[in-house]
Amino acid sequence: MDGSSNGNPGHSSIGSVGRDSYGDVQFILFVYMGIHTNNLMEARVILLALECASKLGWCRIICESDSQVVVSLLNRQHLDGVIWHLALIVDWILNLCASLEFVSFTHVPREWNGVTDCLAK
């Protein structure tokens, strides 16, 4: 999954690919989101992808993102000093995760994220 902002803030969009445990694509998500910051879009794409996966009945989910900032926020679950827009979305993500059996957030190098980067741009 990837969020993109042309400028910071700037025109922003998101892209995500949901794959099942066999690696088969189950959903593709790409949406123009308006004028926002890059970190906000990185968090929004995780939220929307988790919502899609949850609607498909998935309860064990591995999220891979090239945003070290957002992955770190989600893994440490500590939002002191985080701007309220981003903190609100991270809180929504964590609340959704509480209803699922297992969710992990993993940082991946930008080079591994080519498909979702293209979708987001």
Rounded (5°) CA angle 3-32-28: 70
User: Residues 11-22: what's their mean pLDDT?
Assistant: 94
Q: Tokens 């042309």 identify what position? A: 6
Say what the pLDDT of residue 81 is. 86
Closest CA to 30 of 43, 15, 52: 15
Residue 104 in tokens: 């992990």
Question: Which CATH number characterizes residue 62's domain?
Answer: 3.30.420.10
Structural domain that includes position 61: 2-120
When comparing pLDDT for 84 and 115, which is higher?
Answer: 84
pLDDT value at 98 more than 80: yes
The C-alpha atoms of residue 92 and residue 86 are separated, in whole angstroms, by 10
Say what the pLDDT of residue 2 is. 85
Q: How confident is the model at residue 121 (pLDDT cuts 50, 70, 90)?
A: confident
Say what the pLDDT of residue 38 is. 92
Q: How many domains does the chain have?
A: 1
pLDDT value at 34 more than 90: yes
pLDDT value at 22 more than 90: yes
pLDDT value at 37 more than 90: yes
